[in-house]
Structures are given as C-alpha cells and as structure tokens.
Structure 1
Amino acid sequence: MTDPDLSDLGALVAVAQARSFRAAASLRGVSASSLSEAIRRLEARIGVRLLNRTTRSVTPTEAGTQLLERLMPALGEITGALDALNSFRDSPTGTLRLNVPIIVAQRILPPITSRFLLAYPGITLEVSASDTFIDVLAAGFDAGIRYDESIERDMIAIPVGPRTQRFILAAAPSYLAVNGTPQHPRDLLDHACIRHRFASGVIPNWEFERNGKVVKITPKGRVIASTAEMGIGAAVAGLGVVCTFEEYLSEALQSGQLVPVMEPWWQEFTGPRLYYPSRTHMPAPLRAFVDFIKSPEERTLART
C-alpha cells in the first residue's frame, strides 16, 4: 500500500466535517468532483471504504470514524506548526474562514474586510453567509459572527462593526394614503405586514418595546419574503408595512420610496460580534483579524 497523500487526507476531514461534498467544496474553494476523486483515491490506496454516500448524506464508516479520530488531531498539529512560521514573516499568511449572517455579509463586513485585506496581503478570506445557526468549528470555519443571543457562552466574543443596530418599520406613501398610518403595535393587526421566512422555515413574530413595556404581535399579510430585497420591493410597491434592519431600508427611506412608521417603537439592539474558541494556538489569519478589529482605528470607525 502506498502512503496516502496529505491533501487527500485533508479532503477526507473536510467532507466528514461538512457531511457533504458540495459544502466541503464550497469551503475549500474547489469542485465537489475533485473532492470525490480524492476520497476514491484515498480509499483505493488504503483498501477500505471510509465514507458512506447516499443522495442525502455523507457519513464516515466505522473505519473512517476510527481514522478521523486519530487523523484530525494530527492535522491540527500540522496546521499549528505551519501557523507558527507566520511569526518569522513580516505579515501573516493563510486563509481565514468566517460564517456570518446575511445582513453582516452584505452591509457590515465589506468595508471592514477591505481594509483588513489591504493591511494583510498574504491572507485569503472566505466568507459564507447564512442565517442558519450551525456549529461553525465543526463545519470547518475559523470563527463566526452572530448576535449575542445565539453565541455559545464558552466562546470568546468581541464587537465587530456597529455597536448598536435597529429594526425599523416603513411603508410606501401610497399604502399609507389608502390604509392610514399605524401608531401602536396593536394597529398593525389591521394592516398588511410583509413577513420574513428564515431558511429554517420560521416566520418570526414582531416584538416592540417602549418605556419598559414589551408588545409582541403575530403580523398578517399576503407577502412572505425569503430575502430582505424581496420584502423591501413589496413595500415599495405599496403592498404593506415592512420591518427589518435599518441598513436595508436606508436607501429607500432617503429616496422617499418608503417613509418611516412608528419611530417611537423602533427596536435598538447590540451589534454583531465575532466569536471563536478560547484556544492557545489561534490560527495566524484569525489572530490578525482579531487584532485588526480591536485596533483603535477600527473601533473609531465602528462608532461613526
């Protein structure tokens, strides 16, 4: 039996962690077929099936599980050893993999990462945008960005981007001219509300707070959008009241296509946070990113 190629072993770990050739390929920036070929080549060299494949899932066999238990710590040591070499360079190198919410990927992260990549030309950035909660480390990411309520307490979390954000409500002037302007959350029960459905299938209620009083409503309406753009488009067309991140609505408000509704009830909340495990040997690209967003210059920009 010839010795397996290290890259083939890395492919096995990636596919096993992602439980999918397509997801692993997206994370590694390669094709799913190349990963499939790497696994076939590895199994042929070892002479043992390592992964069970179906049309719906990919799971390690008993032999694959046993190999992965010994292989993953060893590959981690190799990665750590290579990361340690970054201290001998003027600037760290490597790939930083982040999993972030869609709003962060679209409206918050781009200017931050642009400045970061200009400061660190040796680092490659991979960003996966999803509103679905996952175990980012098990999925092969170095870190994630989420909001406070969805961050595990055993993680280190630091602010990234704006320190506060708001959910705001808006509607088209044409809609309000016909249906009137709601003043209280209860008024929304008599209005067409443009709702949002997450990838998980959940359609959240709308929650408001003012002077310590919390009001929750179950909005009703004919439009259920899966993206912010779809919901805003429906609102601009005069189909109802939309409630979403202020960053999404700012352009439509500035142009007059939408007008603010129920401003005293707009919800303010803590901005997003970068989170990662408390570990001694942090990958050099992640350490560089953490140091970068904690720098006085970035903290100043975050507040503006």
Structure 2
Amino acid sequence: MQIDLGLLNAVIAVAKAGGFREAARATSSNPSRLSDAVRRAEQQLGVRLFHRTTRTVVLTEAGEILLQRLLPAMSEVESALDAVNGFRKTPAGTLRLNVPVSAARLVLPGIVPAFLARYPDIQLEITAESNVIDIFSAGSDAGIRYDENLEQDMIAVPIGPRRQRYAIAASPSYLDRRGRPEHPRELLRHACLRGKFASGVLPEWVFEKNGEVVKLKPSGPLIVNIGAGVDLAVETAMAGIGIIQLFEEWLRPHFASGALEPILEPWWKDFPGPYLYYPDRRLVPTPLRAFIDFIREYQQYSLK
C-alpha cells in the first residue's frame, strides 16, 4: 500500500489539534484543504480514521492505532531529513514559534531581522497570542514564555532583557483632573484600564516596595484582551480616560513624548525576563538550532 506523506501529515495535524480549524491554524493551512487530505487518506487506506460531528473530530480505533505507529515513524523521517540539512552550507527549513504578544512587540524586533538576514533560507512562522497553550500540540517547534509558564521537560534559553517591570501611567490631563496617586491603594478610587486573558481571567495589579507587596483589582471604564486590545488601551490612556498598567518598555516611548506620565514608580514590580523553550530531545531541528545559537550570541553581545 502506498500513500502520500503529505496526507499522513494532515492526519497527524488534525489528530493533534483535535479539529480541522485548529489544525489549519497550527499549520497555516485551511480547514477545507485538510478535510480533503484526510478524506483522501481514508480512501487510500480503505478505513475511516475520524469520527466527525458538527462539534468534534475524534480518532476511530483504526485512527488511534495508525497514529500510535505513525508518530515515531514520522519523527524518524523528519530527523533523517534534518540530518541531511546539516550538510548544507546554509541552514534551511521552517521554524515555527509560539510567543506572547509582548514578546512579539518588545523582544523579537531586535532579533528577527538580523536572524533572517543571516539565514535567508530559513522561513520563520510566528504565532503571537496572549493565552497559554501547549505549543507543541499546536505544531510549533519552540515557544517563548516567562518563568511561571515554563513546561516540564523543557530546555530554556534566555531571550531578551533579563529583568522587566510593569509600569503604571496616565496622561497628564487625567492626573491634573483626578490627582496623582501616592500609594497603590489609591488606585481603587481611580478609573483604571484593565486587560484580561483569553480565559477571561483579569490579572491583579501587583506592587512592591521595601518588602511590602500590594495586590489590587481596580475597576474602570475599559477592559481589553491582553494582546490584541493593548494598543487600544494605550490610546485610551493617552486620551485622558484612565490609568494603565503595562510593560515599561511598551510605555517608554509615550513617556518620552509626554503623552503619558509615569506614576508610583517606586512601587513598580520587576520580574524575570522571558525564555525560549523547546523539548529536551537528542536531535534539535536545524532551523531551531540556528535560532538558539543566534540568540545566545545576541544575548552575550547585548550584555556587553
């Protein structure tokens, strides 16, 4: 029996993602193309691989058995092809990264252009989102996360600034009108612009000074998704509507322009910078290895 490897890859993608839409998102394809590939795989094999309903896509018993045998075999195929790739003068291939929106905005712009200039045969696919997901079931090779979100059995490589801070700011017009807080608890009497994760959780605002930690859940006229809605929150703060908490690096240009004024700076809480992480395995794909070596070089240079 002969079958196109591309069809088998489609089966694996749909099984890992648990659906056609999710698999299309993870593989930069489209649901109808994946559905057609799975249908052709089933025709060539002569068995049904998935139970399909309007809401779920679940492997059949035959599909389960196929996937159990297929995953190690496809991993060996990828390893064999990557071993050959190591003989090229210039690394080539696709590198898929899943990163927080903050990393796409604040960390990667200083790294990606120089990396792609050095390795023109590598295609970099970056998915930026605010919710924490299993990056490998989503089809990514590596991810960027902060300490508290690192998964077990992963290798972590520092990337970007090693210390960061959450800054608090508002427009001068707002502060002239409502007053300048001198203690974090005073924020409970102010209009605050908040962010929420895709899960619906609204994180607390945390402050620290001389060992005193203050955690607040302020209220205000605007709540945005952490990620896509952050720029809207910044614009709203600059318009004088309320107080915003965000990465210091994100707000720094607006401090320099005078559009926003930092407040409560002695209370700004710092935290460790992000890490690139990837599975602890013997053979790292060539594009990922090139990226790891590049960011290690970049980190050494940036610390000088």
1:191 positional shift: 0.9
Q: Contact 1:27/1:126 (CA < 8 Å) preserved in 2?
A: no
Q: Distance in 2 between matches of 1:281 and 1:104?
A: 26
What are the within-5 Å matches in structure 2 for residues 222-241 of structure 1? Answer: 222-226=221-225, 227-241=229-243
* Aligned pair partner of 1:271 in 270, 273, 281: 273
User: Secondary structure of 1:294's partner?
Assistant: helix
What are the within-5 Å matches in structure 2 for residues 80-99 of structure 1? Answer: 80-99=79-98
Q: What's the CA shift string for 1:85-121, capped at 9, x where partnerless?
A: 1221112211111110011112211231111111112
* Aligned residue in 1 for 2:22: 23
* Aligned pair partner of 1:282 in 265, 281, 284: 284
Q: Distance in 1 between matches of 2:130 and 2:154?
A: 19
User: Secondary structure of 2:148's partner?
Assistant: helix
Give unpaired runs (5+ residues) of structure 1.
none
* Aligned pair partner of 2:264 in 262, 265, 279: 262
* Aligned residue in 2 for 1:108: 107
Q: Distance in 2 between matches of 1:55 and 1:219?
A: 41
* Aligned residue in 1 for 2:122: 123
User: Secondary structure of 2:253's partner?
Assistant: helix
Q: Distance in 2 between matches of 1:120 and 1:251?
A: 31
1:224 positional shift: 0.9
Q: What's the CA shift string for 1:129-160, capped at 9, x where partnerless?
A: 11211111222211110000110242111111
1:203 and 2:202 equivalent?
Answer: yes
Q: What's the CA shift string for 1:51-106, capped at 9, x where partnerless?
A: 22333332212211111010011000000000001221112211111110011112
C-alpha RMSD of matched pairs (Å): 1.5
Q: Distance in 2 between matches of 1:55 and 1:237?
A: 45
Give unpaired runs (5+ residues) of structure 2.
none
What are the within-5 Å matches in structure 2 for residues 52-71 of structure 1? Answer: 52-71=51-70
Q: Distance in 2 between matches of 1:252 and 1:109?
A: 20
* Aligned residue in 2 for 1:218: 217
User: Secondary structure of 1:274's partner?
Assistant: strand
Q: Distance in 1 between matches of 2:55 and 2:171?
A: 43
1:298 positional shift: 4.0
What one-letter code is carried by the residue in structure 2 that aligns with 1:280?
Answer: R
Q: Distance in 2 between matches of 1:21 and 1:273?
A: 30
* Aligned residue in 1 for 2:255: 253
* Aligned residue in 2 for 1:299: 300
Q: Distance in 2 between matches of 1:117 and 1:20?
A: 32
What one-letter code is carried by the residue in structure 2 that aligns with 1:209?
Answer: E
1:170 positional shift: 0.4
Q: Give the number of equivalent residue pairs.
A: 301
Q: Contact 2:27/2:139 (CA < 8 Å) preserved in 1?
A: no
Q: Distance in 2 between matches of 1:11 and 1:235?
A: 45
What one-letter code is carried by the residue in structure 2 that aligns with 1:80?
Answer: S
User: Secondary structure of 2:107's partner?
Assistant: helix
Q: Distance in 2 between matches of 1:99 and 1:52?
A: 29
Q: Contact 1:171/1:260 (CA < 8 Å) preserved in 2?
A: yes
Q: TM-score, normalised by structure 1?
A: 0.95
Q: Distance in 1 between matches of 2:263 and 2:56?
A: 46
Q: Distance in 1 between matches of 2:173 and 2:53?
A: 52
Q: Contact 1:21/1:32 (CA < 8 Å) preserved in 2?
A: yes
User: Secondary structure of 1:243's partner?
Assistant: strand
Q: What's the CA shift string for 1:208-258, capped at 9, x where partnerless?
A: 111111111111112112221121122112111100111221222222111
Q: What's the CA shift string for 1:235-290, capped at 9, x where partnerless?
A: 11211110011122122222211111111011111111001111101111111111
Q: Distance in 2 between matches of 1:138 and 1:26?
A: 12
